[in-house]
Amino acid sequence: MRLIWDTGALSLFFADHSEAKEYMRKVVTKQVAGYIPRLILAEFFYKCCQKFGKEVAQVRLVALRQVPLIEEPIKEVDVLEIGILKTKHPELSLADCVLVQLAKKKRGTLLTTEEGITQIKGVKVYKFEF
């Protein structure tokens, strides 16, 4: 199993959401592979800065980098796929398109809090309730 983490899912993990913590436990114990696009790390960082301040955001980013999440860069071949996805689904943010493309590429489950992503065909999504 491969898990693709979005910003909302990461935020729930830090908020002690039981399901998010259980999924992260599986990544930490290497029962499953966990992936995070670098763009999502940047989004997570800036949202934490907005809500909690830069120091808390930095601590959380360091903590995430201690977990065996695989940081995924956007490769040249991915740029086209992400752009096509955004064209087909203008209602999605660019970050959401990056997540969907990675979930398709890795044949993984996208962990999210976003309703819009659940409507995309061809990608497995788990939407957290909170």
Q: What share of residues in the chain are helix, strand, coil (percent, to 5)?
A: 60, 15, 25
Residue 123, pLDDT score:
95
- The tokens describing 111, both together, are 């962990």
Q: Which numeric CATH code is attached to 2-127?
A: 3.40.50.1010
Q: What is the per-residue pLDDT across 84-100, written as a single tens digit (0 to 9) for each?
A: 999 999 999 999 999 99
User: Whose CA is closest to 105, among 85, 128, 127, 126?
Assistant: 85
- The tokens describing 18, both together, are 């039981």
The residue ranges of every structural domain in the chain are 2-127
Q: What is the per-residue pLDDT across 4-46, written as a single tens digit (0 to 9) for each?
A: 999 999 999 999 999 999 999 999 999 999 999 999 999 999 9
Percent residues over pLDDT 70 in the chain: 100
CA atoms within 13 A on the CB side of 51: 11
User: Do the Cβ atoms of 69 and 5 come closer than 8 Å?
Assistant: yes
Q: Average model confidence (pLDDT) for the chain?
A: 96
Residue 14, pLDDT score:
97
Angle at 115 between CA 113 and CA 121, to 5 degrees: 115
- Mean pLDDT to the nearest integer, 42-62: 97
Q: Determine which of 52-61, 96-105, 113-122 has the lowest per-residue pLDDT on average.
A: 113-122
96-97-98-102 Cα dihedral, nearest 10 degrees: 100
